[in-house]
Amino acid sequence: MGEIVRLQKYIAMCGAASRRGAEELISDGRVTVNGKKISEQGVKVEIGADSVMLDGKLIKPSGKMYYIMLNKPTGYVSTVKDQFERPTVVDLIDTEIKERIFPVGRLDYDTEGLLLMTNDGDFTYKVTHPKHEIDKTYIAVLKGGISIKGLAQLRSGVRLDDGFVTSPAEVEMLDAQNGHTTIKITIHEGKNRQVRRMFEAVGSKVKELQRISIGTVELGNLPLGRWRHLTSHEVSYLKNL
């Protein structure tokens, strides 16, 4: 008998989506098991015995997993396909693996920097799950300055426009000249546009934003718009969070 797993995990193991993405595929009615459409969550399947189809195509757990980092430029969306036909981060992957990988979490259209991509849905689940509180470090260039009080508020936690109160952030002023201020900020939460909204909460405007690290995995000197495979050390660090 093969291993029995939940359907969303099976879909993730096939590299067809992240676990959360797989839940959506199921509720959208795009998945069948042994010919029967499944739209509720929680169904279990046996690997090697049950036949799972996505959009009418048989999917099977794939052998080879890819783990890469991209230095995302601004002007690209962090999805596989954009409803407005804007360029996506997948367009920047210039080999056949582009057919199979998807972004691990998101960077805004107007943010650049370190974005992980993989076809391992379990890896995505792990790295993006809030319980792991993985540190993400950004360089923010502000239009204008920031007050000492604003810096102190970011360090203790600020209330965002939707009422969410952020955890204390590590904040370091790197530079202030010609009407711009450069700040290094580390947070471990991942609310939508969180860094921009944190600065807005203390009266500052982010002009440029770049992510430079996720945990101990650093962007380093990877050129803008280029990607590389993660090292086995980086993969095992992220898998063992």
108 labelled catalytic: yes
Site membership for ligand URA, residue 108 (CB under 6 A): yes
Residue 185 in contact with ligand URA, rule: CB under 6 A? no
Q: Applying CB under 6 A, does 188 fall inside the site for ligand URA?
A: no
- Smallest gap from Cβ 29 to ligand URA, in A, equals 31
Check residue 166 for interaction with ligand URA (CB under 6 A).
no
User: What letter does residue 18 receive in the DSSP assignment?
Assistant: -
| Beta carbon of residue 209, minimum distance to ligand URA (angstroms, whole number) | 6
Contact pattern for ligand URA over residues 88 through 107, marking x by CB under 6 A: -------------------x
Q: Under the criterion CB under 6 A, does residue 194 sit at the interface with ligand URA?
A: yes
Query: Residues 176, 182, 188, 194: is their CA dihedral positive or negative?
Result: positive
Question: What is the rounded CA–CA span in Å between residue 120 and residue 212?
Answer: 22
Q: Is residue 200 near ligand URA by the rule CB under 6 A?
A: no
Catalytic option among 50, 108, 110, 122: 108
Q: Provide the terminal-to-terminal Cα distance of the chain, rounded to the nearest Å.
A: 31
Closest to ligand URA by CB, 15 or 150: 150
On the 0-12 / 13-18 / 19+ scale of CB atoms within 10 A, 183 is buried
Which of 110, 109, 122, 103 is closest to 214 using CA atoms?
103
Nearest to 233 by CA among 213, 212, 216: 216
User: Closest Cα partner for 101 from 236, 226, 229?
Assistant: 229
Site stretch for ligand URA (CB under 6 A), options 8-16, 29-37, 123-131, 193-201: 193-201
Closer CB to ligand URA, 61 or 157, in the complex: 157
Question: Is position 196 an interface residue for ligand URA (rule: CB under 6 A)?
Answer: yes
* Contact predicate 174/182, CB 8 Å: yes
Write out the residues near ligand URA by the rule CB under 6 A. 107-108, 111, 193-196, 209
Task: Give the active site residues.
Answer: 108
